């Protein structure tokens, strides 16, 4: 197994690291804005909205009756979700621009609705992917070890991102979102070009073999000698008792991993609800902005960090066991040694940060990251979808507490997310396999995200740039 090139992994994370540094820089200038961050400035923003019918209109109409912008917006959201479901991206890079440009939501409300929609889609993806098996071994397609070590800090990042979303001015959010979407479009289109070239080589080789053999190659002949599929099976290796027990255990979905994730998730959700926020009064009487309020936020992140470190200890212990008994890894498996269990979760925390801050679901970051780690594409897609389920729901609860969710629209969005993603994944998987050109979907996603960034930039400048005034952590909206 070839060692992972850390420089290559970090180089691919440069756009996300840049966005993080920009966001942190904004928090320290100018000093006088700090005095207003915990204030309730709704009247000022309502006055601004009344003077300017623009992208940044604060008040939005109720869901019923539906108007033309609703029909067009929901239609485009469905199309975007269908495309994203086949391409392995959560869809936030498509949904947020649609909700802002077409349906006229403010960036903050659009990001919250995007998270709700992505959560619905992640439910559908998880339901479908948990029924699939690994292509090279007799075990589930979803890599639950990968989720166990990477998801805790992803959730911690999502909490921080949602908090930053609350305090940053809407104009700053739009500028940062355009930059992130532009970087995402470039990354996606580059991936599409590489995939297209690889597909072309495979098609040419297949045609050459057809000519030599005088007919089409049967699928079982094209698969090769099955050496990869031999790894991890009882028929091909000389097993010790411990190895046999381990392989038998891996055939089933690891309920221990899922239980730990659920416990972590429930504790974070409970603390988040108990501390309250701008639109949700704490049942314990915790005042927003007080010492106990910030202690609760630190406690949630500390809890996530504790779970990650415990998971790291568990996976490193399993790695040493596998090494001792001669466990054979298959293509795309991660060897969770001491270094990997620290570096990858730390980088993955950025995925959660952008999920909470921009409503992009984290898949745009985690998908390329897992591919850079050498994870098999099918495993990366299925695992990312399950991670997005936890991340999106955690970010959504934060938006709920802060009063950024518009309930009637949120209900429709979660249903649309589930239905569109379900049929999109089933339908597009059939189409892509039939034509053998997965790159077309990748190109479509890159084009849509790039166009969205361009349109948002045009709309932003046409509207006058929006408000630069922070909204305050403890103010509603």
Quick check: is 62 in a domain? no
* CA dihedral (418, 423, 425, 426) positive or negative: positive
Residue 401 lies in a domain: yes
**What single string gives the DSSP state of each residue in 204-264?**
HHHHHHHHHHTSPPPHHHHT-S-HHHHTT-TTTS---HHHHHHHHHHTS--HHHHHHHHHH
At residue 306, the pLDDT reads 92
Residue 53 lies in a domain: no
pLDDT classification of 343: cutoffs 50, 70, 90: confident
User: CA 59, CA 36: separation in Å to the nearest integer?
Assistant: 22
Please state the pTM of the whole predicted model: 0.65
35, part of any domain = no
Residue 320 tokens read as 């040493």
Within a domain: residue 316? Answer: yes
Distance CA(335)–CA(240), nearest Å, equals 20
Identify whether 476 is part of a domain.
no
Q: Which carries the bigger pLDDT value, residue 460 or residue 379?
A: 379
Q: What is the pLDDT of residues 171-192, one digit of tens each?
A: 777 787 788 778 877 877 887 7
Measured on CA atoms in the order 160, 161, 165, 168, is the torsion positive or negative?
Answer: positive
Kindly state the percentage of the chain with pLDDT values over 90. Answer: 1
What is the pLDDT, as a whole number, of residue 415? 92
Domain that holds residue 390: 6-22+69-462
- How much is the CA Rg of the chain, to the nearest whole Å? 23
Q: Tell me which H or E stretch contains 47.
A: helix 42-51
| 40-98 pLDDT per residue, tens | 433 433 443 333 333 334 566 767 787 888 888 888 888 888 877 765 566 776 787 78
- How far apart CA 95 and CA 81 sit, in angstroms, is 8
pLDDT of residue 169: 74
Q: Domain count of the chain? A: 1
* Distance between first and last Cα of the chain: 50
Give the single-character DSSP code of 36: G
Q: Is residue 190 in a domain? A: yes
**Is 221's pLDDT higher than 60?**
no
| pLDDT score of 448 more than 70 | no
Q: Across residues 196-201, what is the average pLDDT?
A: 82
**Looking at residue 140, what DSSP letter applies?**
B
Which residues partner with 60 through β-bridges?
A: none
């Amino acid at each position: 197994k070839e060692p992972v090139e850390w420089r290559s992994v970090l180089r691919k994370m440069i756009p996300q690291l840049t966005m993080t540094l920009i966001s942190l820089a904004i928090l320290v200038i100018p000093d006088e804005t700090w005095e207003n961050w915990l204030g309730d400035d709704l009247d000022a923003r309502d006055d601004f909205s009344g003077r300017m019918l623009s992208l940044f209109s604060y008040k939005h109409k109720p869901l019923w009756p539906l108007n033309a912008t609703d029909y067009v917006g929901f239609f485009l959201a469905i199309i975007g979700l269908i495309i994203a479901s086949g391409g392995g991206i959560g869809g936030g890079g498509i949904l947020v621009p649609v909700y802002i440009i077409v349906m006229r939501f403010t960036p903050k409300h659009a990001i919250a609705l995007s998270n709700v929609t992505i959560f619905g889609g992640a439910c559908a993806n998880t339901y479908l992917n948990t029924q699939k098996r690994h292509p090279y071994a007799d075990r589930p397609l979803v890599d639950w070890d990968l989720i166990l070590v990477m998801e805790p800090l992803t959730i911690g990042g999502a909490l921080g991102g949602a908090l930053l979303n609350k305090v940053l001015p809407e104009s700053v959010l739009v500028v940062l979102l355009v930059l992130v979407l532009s970087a995402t479009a470039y990354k996606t289109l580059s991936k599409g070009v590489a995939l297209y070239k690889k597909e072309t080589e495979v098609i040419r080789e297949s045609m050459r073999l057809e000519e030599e053999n005088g007919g089409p190659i049967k699928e079982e002949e094209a698969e090769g000698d099955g050496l990869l599929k031999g790894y991890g099976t009882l028929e091909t290796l000389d097993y010790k008792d411990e190895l046999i027990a381990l392989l038998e255990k891996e055939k089933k979905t690891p309920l221990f991993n899922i239980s730990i994730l659920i416990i972590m998730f429930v504790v974070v959700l409970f603390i988040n609800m108990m501390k309250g926020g701008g639109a949700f009064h704490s049942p314990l009487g915790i005042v927003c902005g007080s010492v106990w309020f910030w202690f609760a936020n630190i406690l949630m992140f500390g809890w996530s960090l504790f779970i990650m470190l415990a998971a790291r200890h568990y996976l490193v212990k399993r790695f040493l066991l596998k090494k001792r008994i001669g466990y054979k890894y298959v293509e795309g498996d991660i060897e969770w040694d001491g270094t990997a269990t620290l570096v990858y979760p730390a980088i993955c925390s950025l995925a959660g940060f952008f999920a909470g801050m921009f409503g992009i679901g984290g898949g745009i970051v985690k998908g390329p990251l897992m591919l850079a780690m050498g994870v098999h594409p099918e495993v990366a897609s299925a695992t990312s979808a399950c991670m997005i389920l936890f991340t999106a729901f955690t970010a959504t609860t934060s938006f709920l507490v802060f009063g950024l969710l518009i309930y009637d629209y949120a209900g429709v969005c979660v249903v649309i997310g589930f239905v569109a993603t379900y049929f999109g994944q089933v339908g597009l998987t059939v189409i892509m396999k039939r034509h053998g050109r997965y790159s077309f979907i990748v190109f479509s996603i890159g084009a849509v995200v790039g166009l969205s960034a361009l349109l948002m930039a045009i709309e932003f400048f046409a509207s006058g740039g929006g408000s630069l005034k922070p909204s305050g952590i403890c103010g509603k909206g």
